[in-house]
Structure 1
Amino acid sequence: MKKSTESEMLKEAIQLLKEKQAFELVQLKDQYHVTYESLQPVNLIKNAFGQLTKTSEFKGNILNSVIGIASGYLSKKVLLGSSHNPITKVLGTILQFAITNFVSKKAETFTQDKHS
């Protein structure tokens, strides 16, 4: 009678191990799909950009750049208008570049003073 009890216990242990193995296989497959999706190039780029935009420094840099570019463009249009002269166009572009850089740097110091 002792042999049948040991045999039944062994069968029960084997059955529990099979159930555990089936459960772990399902978990492994699920994790595989999650990992596969997260490694898709689109998702990698989306996650990287999402993390990048969460930093306040990045937001400040974008804002400073937009302000600088907009002010440079507007200054060029106001001061020179739409000229067809190539020399005026080149000078306008140089002026636009200079004003863009100046305003971007001033906006950067303004936003740093604001955060300090």
Structure 2
Amino acid sequence: METIYTIDSLHQMIEELEIRQDAEWCAIKDEIDEIKENLKPLNLIRNTVEEVNETVGFKSNLAQSAISIGIGYLAKRFVVGKTTSTFKNIFGSLLQLVVTNLVSKPHESSKEES
């Protein structure tokens, strides 16, 4: 920091620091929004599937579809469990379908990166 000798230069320095502070707060808020988005359960599952695909080297649509179906099945078993109730079985099947479709859709940020 430079030494300030006049009131005008003091006001100018204060203004510059306020602008810098605003910019830094905006950057912090954007980072927090990104973290919150990444911590949503669906995005956690999607990111995990993408990492597994990259690590293991699954490039085919068939392998990615199998993983999506498996995650849908696990969601059904986790939420509904084993039941003899027809209503619960229908609800579980719908849940499995929804989760499978959501996980298999491409992630929005991967479209932006391309």
The TM tier, using the shorter chain, reads 0.3 to 0.5
Which protein is richer in helix relative to its size? 1
TM-score by length of 1: 0.43
- Which of structures 1 and 2 has the bigger CA Rg? 1
